[in-house]
Amino acid sequence: MTTSRRPNPQILSPFDWFPSPHEYERSPELGVLAILLSILDVTYVALLAANRDLLDDEHPYWSPFSSTARPAAAVLRQIDRLRRTIATYQHAALPPPPQHAPDDMPF
């Protein structure tokens, strides 16, 4: 599904936003960034599935985390940081929406 709306910086999932053909034509790197965001989403979910104790808000402080939990938490923080950076780039790289004539009704 393509849309010409700008991505919401709060929702960085490429499943909600893919560049339109007009946007691909003007900024082809947006397609690569959409694929990269898809890969980051899959990686994020896989790390959370493998380290479920990271999701437990009531994890007792005396109970140790698994040996992979701390590195996974660090990777998750980096994924969040990269998503924000990509969203900033998307906003800067998006071409302005096509202009319609005042008497033209967009459908």
Give me the residue spans of the domains in the chain: 21-93
Question: For residue 50, how far is the Cα from the chain centroid?
Answer: 21
Nearest to 6 by CA among 69, 106, 86, 97: 97
Tokens of 25: 């034509």
Tokens of 63: 């109970």
pLDDT per residue of the chain (107 residues) written in tens, 0 to 9: 333 344 444 444 545 567 777 777 778 888 888 889 889 999 999 999 998 888 877 777 777 778 888 899 999 999 999 999 998 888 888 766 666 666 666 66
Quote the CA–CA distance of 41 and 16 in Å, as a whole number.
Answer: 12
Quote the CA–CA distance of 45 and 51 in Å, as a whole number.
Answer: 10
Quote the CA–CA distance of 44 and 48 in Å, as a whole number.
Answer: 6
> What does pTM read for this prediction?
0.66
